[in-house]
Amino acid sequence: MKLRLRWLPACALAACTLLVGMGPRASAQQAEPQPRRALSQLDTAADGGRSRAQRPRGTTQRRTLDVEGQERTYRLYVPPRNQDSQPLPLIISLHGAGASGAIHQMVCQFDTLADEHQFLVAYPDGIANVWRFWDAPPRQERRTGAQRRPAMDDVAFMAKLIDSLVSEGMVEPRRVYVNGISNGAYMTHRLACDLGNRLAAVAAVAGTMPRIAAENQRPPRPIPCLYFHGTADQIVNTEGIDAFSRSRLSLSADDLLAWWARHNRCSQPPAVEDLPDVEDDGTRVRRHTYQPEKGGAPVVYYEIIDGGHTWPGGSTLQPRFLLGRTCRDINASQLMWEFFSQYELPDDDKAGER
């Protein structure tokens, strides 16, 4: 219990600074790297030559779910649907502690991509603006006799969110993905362990996982994983030390990659590539790619050199004086979709490339 209480203030404070990301969206064309330009040009051609500004926009629905007697809330972004209204892929994107689904929606800016590529985005709200990734898994509670406080089960919330959208015919169940930043990144890794047979791929920004969780939990199968972290992050640094507890309670970036590489049956060392420095933002990007063996899944790490506790390519109002530099050489949301869109769950619940 002491360990859990030490984590709560650290995680609550770590991402509350994301509240400042409530300003207007950055231009969709700003700092667009070459792969995005090429993809956007193809999308424009496929859409009858219409530009992004000319295309119909989707809508954001405010939704609620009853989870163990507690009303849980989330926002669902629905792109313009095809006439046949086929089920679409779903991305669940988790805010940092102290923020909310609405704030995170403006920070990560997935909606324009959802319009272009026809997928749904859910932006859930944590209770008291925090994801309780540290709560004991149900199987551990049964073993230890611990009692979960009612209505605080975030894993159950995510499972019910997926179930409800699948039952409505909105979501293709083999194409569900999760990502998050900071406290949401920790929750993403928790979901990979507890709901891994329902997630086709995951991605994390500026957050790893507790050392104690890494020792006691693992994903049920190899899951494609994408990871972004700034080397100058002063809130959750890449050495596994957060700014508030000042303790090495988390895996370092290297340890997290080794953990994922082991569970995803990846060969080591990774292929390392320095990406073009296309923006004068004080950061550079180095990509580490862990290739899987047969039956495994890839792990890709975008090391943001001199980057801060920020969402790469996200809102322009992520203040440098609080969070550090925001990388504009890449766009994390774009890269996540390009990564996610390669994978789905086959019928035997083993991830495979589409």
Distance separating alpha carbons of residues 165 and 297, to the nearest angstrom: 26
User: In the β-sheet with 171-181, what is the strand arrangement from edge to edge?
Assistant: 59-67, 70-78, 120-124, 88-94, 171-181, 201-205, 225-230, 299-305, 284-290, 271-274
Tokens coding 150? 């009612």
| Model pLDDT, residue 10 | 40
Distance separating alpha carbons of residues 86 and 83, to the nearest angstrom: 8
Q: 156-183 b/e with 16+ CB inside 10 Å = b?
A: bbbbbbbeebbeeebbbbbbbbbbbbbb
Q: 134-151 b/e with 16+ CB inside 10 Å = b?
A: bbebeeeeeeeeeeeeee
What are the tens digits of pLDDT across the range 67-86? Answer: 989 999 999 999 987 545 78
- Please give the model's pTM, rounded to 2 decimal places: 0.82
What are the tens digits of pLDDT across the range 16-49? Answer: 433 333 333 332 222 222 233 333 433 443 344 5
| Residue 36 zone, left/alpha/beta (φ > 0; ψ -120 to 50; rest) | alpha
Q: Which of the residues in the chain have pLDDT under 70? A: 1-55, 82-84, 136-151, 348-354
Tokens coding 320? 């440098």
Domains of the chain: 2-19+32-353 (3.40.50.1820)
Tokens coding 328? 């504009």
| Model pLDDT, residue 163 | 98
